[in-house]
Chains A and B, each alone.
Chain A
Amino acid sequence: DVKVTQSSRYLVKRTGEKVFLECVQDMDHENMFWYRQDPGLGLRLIYFSYDVKMKEKGDIPEGYSVSREKKERFSLILESASTNQTSMYLCASSPVGGTANTEAFFGQGTRLTVV
Chain B
Amino acid sequence: AQSVAQPEDQVNVAEGNPLTVKCTYSVSGNPYLFWYVQYPNRGLQFLLKYITGDNLVKGSYGFEAEFNKSQTSFHLKKPSALVSDSALYFCAVPDTGRRALTFGSGTRLQVQP
Task: Give A contacts to B, CB under 8 Å.
Answer: 4, 6, 9, 31, 33, 35, 40-43, 45, 48, 50, 56, 58, 90, 92, 94, 97-101, 103-109, 111
Give the residues in chain B near A101, CB-CB below 8 Å: 32, 49, 51
Cβ-defined contact, A106 with B98, below 8 A: no
Give the residues in chain B near A94, CB-CB below 8 Å: 99
Give the residues in chain B near A99, CB-CB below 8 Å: 32, 34, 94-96, 99-101
Q: How many residues of B contact A (CB 8 A)?
A: 25
Give the residues in chain B near A90, CB-CB below 8 Å: 43-44
A39 to B36, CA, bound (A): 16
Cβ-defined contact, A42 with B103, below 8 A: yes
Which residue of chain B has the shortest Cβ distance to A111 in the bound complex? B41
Q: A56-B98, A98-B98, A106-B45 are in contact. List 17 more A-B contacts (CB 8 A).
A: A35-B103, A41-B105, A42-B104, A42-B105, A43-B44, A45-B98, A48-B98, A90-B44, A94-B99, A100-B32, A101-B51, A104-B46, A104-B101, A105-B46, A106-B44, A108-B42, A111-B41
Task: Give B contacts to A, CB under 8 Å.
Answer: 9, 32, 34, 36, 41-46, 49, 51, 90, 94-96, 98-106
A101 to B106, CA, bound (A): 21
- Chain A min CB distance to B100 (Å): 5
Cβ-defined contact, B43 with A109, below 8 A: yes
Cβ-defined contact, B90 with A42, below 8 A: yes
Cβ-defined contact, B105 with A109, below 8 A: no
A33 to B32, CA, bound (A): 19
Give the residues in chain A near B34, CB-CB below 8 Å: 99, 103
Give the residues in chain A near B98, CB-CB below 8 Å: 45, 48, 56, 58, 98
Cβ-defined contact, A100 with B94, below 8 A: yes
